[in-house]
Amino acid sequence: MHAALVMKEHTMTIVIDPKRILRYANRPRPSYVSSLAQAQAMYDRYGISANALRAAHFTAQIMYESQALRAEQENLNYSANRLAAVWPSRFQPRGPLNPADYAHQPQALADYVYGNKNGNTEADDGYRFRGRGLLQLTFKSNYAAATRALQKLKPMAPDLCLNPDAVTEPDWALAVAAAVWEAKGCNGYADHDNINKVTRAINGGENGLAERKIWLRMMKQLFGV
């Protein structure tokens, strides 16, 4: 029998063992460890435990996005050279801005690159709604959508637009990730084993695709795909 999976009697729902998942994490955040205690309920609630392929894809994405359960927030503390590499159309030598003006200034950088789009309309919204949590939720519109999805499950769930840091709290971290996953149609993409579509839904592009594929291979082994 594979490490993280057995079948519930009379159902096809996969039983998730958080301890097996945590073996792939070196020094995970305590908040994430606590949140993973809810894994069965959240995987069940959002259809992720319906088959091993969904479970493998979802777990691979949260492991990549959270840097193996270590990153609670997006690291925006870039050097000037790194800024030019990550956003070449924005920063010199190919873009208009001097990267030195934004180097090692996370708030200024976030407000610039994330400002005035996807619901970020107020001053400092870029930084306020920077990437957080197991799927690095970004932009106010996505925080609002995650709030709506959460409050369908639990009406007393926090408004993530008013309390963005709740995305990383033990009670909500996994619930937010699972709700976002379902809302973006990722279960269907996972059913077809399409990591490109899963990644575009989660990331908006295909950043880190090679490393995501490595995580997926490991999670497929774990879940017996």
Residue 3 predicted with pLDDT over 80? no
Give the torsion through C-alpha atoms of 148, 145, 128, 26, to 10 deg: 90
pLDDT confidence of residue 15:
85
pLDDT for 73-128, tens place per residue? 999 999 999 999 999 999 999 999 999 999 999 999 999 999 999 999 999 999 99
Residue 211 predicted with pLDDT over 60? yes
d(CA 24, CA 165): 25
d(CA 5, CA 55): 10
pLDDT confidence of residue 214:
99
Which one is predicted more confidently, 156 or 60?
60
Residue 64 predicted with pLDDT over 90? yes
* HEC readout, 104-138: CCHHHHHHHHHCCECCECCCCHHHHCCCECCCCEC
- What secondary structure does DSSP assign to 28-62, as a single string? --HHHHHHHTTHHHHHHHTTGGGSHHHHHHHHHHH
Q: What is the mean pLDDT of residues 134-163?
A: 95
* Domain parsing of the chain, residue ranges: 18-72+131-223, 80-122
Residue 5 predicted with pLDDT over 50? no
What pTM does this model have? 0.90
Q: Answer for the pair 14, 222: CB distance below 8 angstroms, yes or no.
A: no
Phi, psi of 120 (to 5 degrees): -80, 95
pLDDT, mean over the chain: 93
Residue 2 predicted with pLDDT over 80? no
What type of residue is 74? E
d(CA 193, CA 142): 25
pLDDT confidence of residue 153:
83
pLDDT confidence of residue 12:
65
pLDDT confidence of residue 154:
86
